[in-house]
A and B are shown apart, each in its own frame.
Chain A
Amino acid sequence: MEKVKIVKKDEVKLQDLVDKLKKDPKIFECGAIACFIGIVRGIGKNGSKVQKLFYEAWEEEAIKTLVEIRDEALRKNKNLKDLLVYHVIDELKPGDETVFIVAAGKHRHDAINAVVDTIEEIKKKPPIWKKEYTEKGSYWVKE
């Protein structure tokens, strides 16, 4: 199973990722799985209704960066036993899923903190951009 992947809209469901994580033998050391799903907000940064959100990526480099983020999370905390990062790069509508992060940890804080830290890194590092199209116009979103 790929631990890090760029996917299209509707290509993956959260339960599939959780099920795959639970098949890994390392899960026997874990007491918690934490999940994060990013979704497209219906109200844009300019305060008006979002019609669509378009993602663009330098995919090859984005995957390398996501792998580095994952590797660093596992290196920093040996109680974090597994981490899946799947990012959607596609044209999306409000409510659509944008990113999945699933973490398995020995204890709840290991899993929860990994998920939080990982999404913060994803906001800053990979060459991924998104353009919000709203009723009042479109713009590239700067985090």
Chain B
Amino acid sequence: MKIKIRFFAELREIVGEREKILAFPDSHVNIAKLLNFLVDVYGEKFKEKIFDKNGQLFNHYIILVNGKNIKFLEGLETTLKDEDEVSIFPPVGGG
């Protein structure tokens, strides 16, 4: 299963790329599993940005799956399927 992930701002700096395509052999991947995988790959710097000290996703981070906010799907339990696009937004700052 292949998932495209988009990174922005501070996460883009940590990852070093605007987007990546990740391949998972397991077809049962949800957002929580994806984030934990990213933490394993990118380490503490990545973890500190998105998770608070209790391991909860910061409220000000927005995660979209195919353009839909996971808050309106199943949150961190949102299941991903082949060719899904996940965008991880740090707090925005337009204007």
Which residues of A are interface residues toward B (Cβ below 8 A)? 38, 56-58, 61-62, 87, 98-99, 119, 122-131, 140-143
Interface residues in B, total, Cβ within 8 A: 15
B4 contacts chain A at the CB level, 8 A cutoff: no
Residue ID in chain B nearest A54 by CB atoms: B9
A143 to chain B: which residues have CB within 8 Å?
91-95
A122 interface neighbour in B87, B89, B95, Cβ under 8 Å:
B95
6 contacts between A and B (CB under 8 A): A38-B95, A119-B95, A128-B92, A128-B95, A141-B93, A142-B90
Could you tell me the dominant secondary structure of chain B's interface residues? loop
A131 interface neighbour in B9, B60, B87, Cβ under 8 Å:
B9
B10 contacts chain A at the CB level, 8 A cutoff: yes
Taken together as a complex, chains A and B put the C-alpha atoms of A99 and B93 apart, in Å, by 12
Taken together as a complex, chains A and B put the C-alpha atoms of A1 and B60 apart, in Å, by 35
Contact present for B9 and A56 (CB under 8 Å) = yes
B12 to chain A: which residues have CB within 8 Å?
56
Query: Known pairs A87-B95, A130-B94. 5 more at Cβ < 8 A?
Result: A122-B94, A127-B87, A128-B95, A129-B93, A142-B90
Contact present for A142 and B95 (CB under 8 Å) = no
Contact present for A123 and B9 (CB under 8 Å) = no
B4 to chain A, nearest CB (A): 13
A124 to chain B: which residues have CB within 8 Å?
92
